[in-house]
Amino acid sequence: MRVFILSLILLFVSGCTDDSKYVTKIVEAEGFHDVNVLGYALFDCSEDDFRRTRFTAVSDSTGKEVSGTVCSRFLFKSSTIRYNE
C-alpha cells in the first residue's frame, strides 16, 4: 500500500514539471547556454503556477552560472523565468 501511495505522489510531481526540451528552449531564448534541467521546484513560483521546473545555465554575456525556475500555469499562460540569487 505504501508503495502505491508513493508511486501516486511521484506521478503527480513528475506531471508538475515542464519537458526538459521546453525549459531548455525558453532559457536559451533568454541568452543562456549549457542548460541543466533539475526538476520540480515546490516553493519557487506563484501558487497559481502549475508547472515549476528548476534549472541552472551559463550566461552568454557574462559567462557566469545562474539558477532559476521556469514557471507556467496549466493552460493559457506564457512561461516566466524566476532567477535565484
Cell of 4: 502505491
Question: Is the confidence at residue 77, as pLDDT, over 80?
Answer: no
Cell of 41: 521546484
pTM of the full predicted structure?
0.72
- Helix/strand/coil percent split, the chain, to 5: 25, 35, 40
> Residues 7-21: pLDDT tens digits?
556 555 544 555 778
- pLDDT in the model for residue 15: 47
Domain ranges of the chain: 2-83
Q: Which residue has the higher pLDDT, 25 or 74?
A: 25
- pLDDT in the model for residue 33: 95
> Residues 26-62: pLDDT tens digits?
899 999 999 999 988 888 888 888 888 999 999 999 9
